[in-house]
Amino acid sequence: MNFSELKLIDPLLHAVRAEGYSEPTPIQLQAIPHILNGKDVVGCAQTGTGKTAAFALPILQRLTAQPRRQTAIRVLVLSPTRELASQIGDSFATYGRHLPLRHTVIFGGVGQQPQVQALKRGVEILVATPGRLLDLMGQGLVNLNTIEIFVLDEADRMLDMGFIHDVRRIISALPQKRQTLLFSATMPQDIQDLADRILVTPVRVEVTPQATTVEKITQSVFFVEKNDKRPLLEHLLDDPAIRRVLVFTRTKHGANKLVQQLERARIGAEAIHGNKSQSARERALENFKTGRTRVLVATDIAARGIDVEDVTHVINYDLPNIPESYVHRIGRTARAGAEGIAYSFCDTSERPFLRDIEKLIRLRVPVVTDHPYVSTQPFNAAPPSPTPSARKPVQQGQSNRRSSEQRRRQPSR
Ligand code: AMP
């Protein structure tokens, strides 16, 4: 099936062709006809599946089909992060380049004046993060009375990031009569409840990115102790095949420290995380996109929506404790059909995280055993327990019992 069979209008077909898309992705195939028909849609899909075009294309078409004489905000897209909001804005610009519709993106962390001016000039499509939008609403600078289509993107992240109350407040300012589209990578109960409340007889569309994305990525895990992670990373980076690599750390501090250490080893690296100013984040991203920086060190939240083509490798310097984050992270390589490589460093304390990840992706991640920093801890070692009582020395017999129990739980590690 190609895009023209989806009954998209020529200006959109031209734009899609210019982007080099030969056929719609599964989420686009499923969602576009319903959105064009004015249905509410719940989409279970993550970034990397083509979901932005799945809503942006039919939205642009609907706005074009029913032009308004006066400029008013007709579409609101809420995004949890500034990076994702910018990317959604870019997508509207790309797909709508042959249409006379205007959009703007508003988010916090930067001065509000240019955003206010853009709003005053008039836009049909507004992409926003919740905090700044509420701020501007409070100042009477944004009016949502004229919204016809509302998109809540990455709803599960909104929840994780504590934005759900802000989102509810924004929804209460929207007209009752509207089309609502909700996208979420996962569907926890809270999101399901929200969907039940804000959507009217929605169509559910679902793609199974976890399996499809993950299968295209060559994954491996390195068992390595914490102090050896940095030398292992430097060792791996000796390989010039690692051209453009996204390295994930758990904390912002960890990201900064790693960048300093890599710079000392004369490896070009920059960090991107929530403590950096918007301009520093954009600069880091731009340097990475253009290849000036080889290594971009990111935390999970900052990495949401990073859409850089040709990321050759993702390295999980720290394993995430939320298994879905692993899928999001490695999905940064293998964008739009390309194949990618993901390495994960796993120290003893992170082994339970690895088990959770493997359960989610229903795959055993192959272990690399021929590297210079192999952990001396046996693969089936029990992770250190965080409870003080369990740290008390145990007698020989007890210790043996624990490890055999552990072996039973982890048959091959
Ligand atoms: P998204 O899930 O919206 O973040 O999109 C992921 C990537 O897929 C972006 O780089 C898009 O440009 C690209 N993309 C979207 N739709 C298609 C398509 N039909 N064919 C090829 N690439 C696409």
- Do residue 224 and residue 157 come from a single domain? no
Of 158, 125, 126, 150, the C-alpha closest to 305 is 158
| Closest ligand 1 atom to 19 CA | 12
The answer, yes or no, to whether any atom of ligand 1 lies below 6 A from the CB of 236, is no
CA distance to 278, 286, 288, 349, 351, per residue, from 296 (Å): 16, 11, 7, 25, 25
- Whether 409 is in a domain gets the answer no
- Do residue 84 and residue 105 come from a single domain? yes
Q: Using CA atoms, how far apart are residues 258 and 232, in angstroms rounded to an integer?
A: 12
Q: % helix / strand / coil in the chain, to the nearest 5?
A: 45, 15, 40
pLDDT mean values, one per 10 residues, the chain (413 residues): 91 93 90 98 85 97 94 96 92 97 96 96 97 97 97 90 92 97 88 93 79 74 96 95 94 94 94 79 88 92 69 94 84 70 96 89 88 80 38 30 34 39
Helix (H, G, I), strand (E, B) or coil at 265: coil
- Do residue 295 and residue 377 come from a single domain? yes
Determine the pLDDT at residue 358.
87
- Whether 355 is in a domain gets the answer yes
- Do residue 80 and residue 194 come from a single domain? yes
Determine the pLDDT at residue 410.
36
- Whether 413 is in a domain gets the answer no
Of the three residues 160, 178, 206, the one that is the final residue of a domain is 206
- Whether 396 is in a domain gets the answer no
The answer, yes or no, to whether any atom of ligand 1 lies below 6 A from the CB of 336, is yes
Ligand 1 centroid to Cα of residue 334, in Å, is: 11
Question: How many residues belong to the chain?
Answer: 413
Q: Using CA atoms, how far apart are residues 132 and 294, in angstroms rounded to an integer?
A: 32
| Closest ligand 1 atom to 46 CA | 2
- Do residue 221 and residue 335 come from a single domain? yes
Determine the pLDDT at residue 381.
46
φ/ψ (deg, to 5) at 36 = -60, -30
Sign of CA dihedral 159, 165, 168, 170: negative
Q: Give the pLDDT confidence of 111-126 residue by residue, as tens digits.
A: 999 999 999 999 999 9
Ligand 1 centroid to Cα of residue 342, in Å, is: 20
Q: Which two tokens stand for residue 185?
A: 């990578």
Query: For residue 298, with 0-12 CB atoms within 10 Å meaning exposed, 13-18 middle and 19 or more buried, which class applies?
Result: buried
Determine the pLDDT at residue 335.
61
- Do residue 273 and residue 387 come from a single domain? yes
In this structure, the residue with its CA closest to atom 16 of ligand 1 is: 50
- Do residue 264 and residue 180 come from a single domain? no
In this structure, the residue with its CA closest to atom 11 of ligand 1 is: 50
The answer, yes or no, to whether any atom of ligand 1 lies below 6 A from the CB of 21, is yes
- Do residue 230 and residue 378 come from a single domain? yes
Look at the block and give the residue holding tokens 């499509």. 125
Ligand 1 centroid to Cα of residue 347, in Å, is: 34
The answer, yes or no, to whether any atom of ligand 1 lies below 6 A from the CB of 25, is yes
- Whether 359 is in a domain gets the answer yes
Cβ 332 vs Cβ 314: under 8 Å: yes
Q: Using CA atoms, how far apart are residues 104 and 128, in angstroms rounded to an integer?
A: 8
Of 62, 52, 60, 61, the C-alpha closest to 24 is 52
Determine the pLDDT at residue 55.
98
In this structure, the residue with its CA closest to atom 6 of ligand 1 is: 48
Determine the pLDDT at residue 208.
62
Phi-psi group of 154: left, alpha or beta (phi > 0 → left; psi -120 to 50 → alpha; rest → beta): left
The type of residue at 379 is: F
Task: Annotate 172-205 with b (16+ C-beta within 10 A) or e (fewer).
Answer: eebeeebbbbbbbbbbeeebeebbeebbeebbeb
The answer, yes or no, to whether any atom of ligand 1 lies below 6 A from the CB of 46, is no
DSSP letter, residue 125: E
Ligand 1 centroid to Cα of residue 48, in Å, is: 6
- Whether 229 is in a domain gets the answer yes
Ligand 1 centroid to Cα of residue 53, in Å, is: 7
The answer, yes or no, to whether any atom of ligand 1 lies below 6 A from the CB of 48, is yes
Of the three residues 206, 231, 256, the one that is the final residue of a domain is 206
Q: Using CA atoms, how far apart are residues 249 and 225, in angstroms rounded to an integer?
A: 15
Q: Using CA atoms, how far apart are residues 406 and 289, in angstroms rounded to an integer?
A: 44
Q: Using CA atoms, how far apart are residues 71 and 52, in angstroms rounded to an integer?
A: 24
Determine the pLDDT at residue 299.
87
Ligand 1 centroid to Cα of residue 38, in Å, is: 23
Ligand 1 centroid to Cα of residue 54, in Å, is: 9
- Do residue 242 and residue 287 come from a single domain? yes
Ligand 1 centroid to Cα of residue 24, in Å, is: 9
Q: Which two tokens stand for residue 130?
A: 């919740």
The answer, yes or no, to whether any atom of ligand 1 lies below 6 A from the CB of 338, is no
- Do residue 145 and residue 284 come from a single domain? no
Ligand 1 centroid to Cα of residue 49, in Å, is: 6
In this structure, what is the dihedral angle of CA atoms 101, 51, 353, 314, given to the nearest 10 degrees? -80
Give me the CATH number covering residue 45: 3.40.50.300
Of 7, 49, 10, the C-alpha closest to 32 is 7
Ligand 1 centroid to Cα of residue 309, in Å, is: 10
Determine the pLDDT at residue 1.
78
Determine the pLDDT at residue 398.
33
The type of residue at 397 is: G
| Closest ligand 1 atom to 52 CA | 3
φ/ψ (deg, to 5) at 77 = -115, 120
The answer, yes or no, to whether any atom of ligand 1 lies below 6 A from the CB of 307, is yes
> Where in the sequence is the domain holding 381, given as residue range(s)?
217-391
Q: Which two tokens stand for residue 269?
A: 């690296």
- Do residue 33 and residue 128 come from a single domain? yes
In this structure, the residue with its CA closest to atom 21 of ligand 1 is: 21
Q: Using CA atoms, how far apart are residues 212 and 190, in angstroms rounded to an integer?
A: 26
DSSP letter, residue 37: T
| Closest ligand 1 atom to 45 CA | 2
Domains in the chain, number:
2
Bridge partners (DSSP) of residue 179 are 149
| Closest ligand 1 atom to 87 CA | 4
Q: Which two tokens stand for residue 174?
A: 């929207």
Ligand 1 centroid to Cα of residue 401, in Å, is: 51
Task: Annotate 10-20 with b (16+ C-beta within 10 A) or e (fewer).
Answer: ebbbebbeeee
Q: Give the pLDDT confidence of 64-105 residue by residue, as tens digits.
A: 999 998 889 999 999 998 989 999 999 999 999 999 999 999
- Do residue 181 and residue 51 come from a single domain? yes
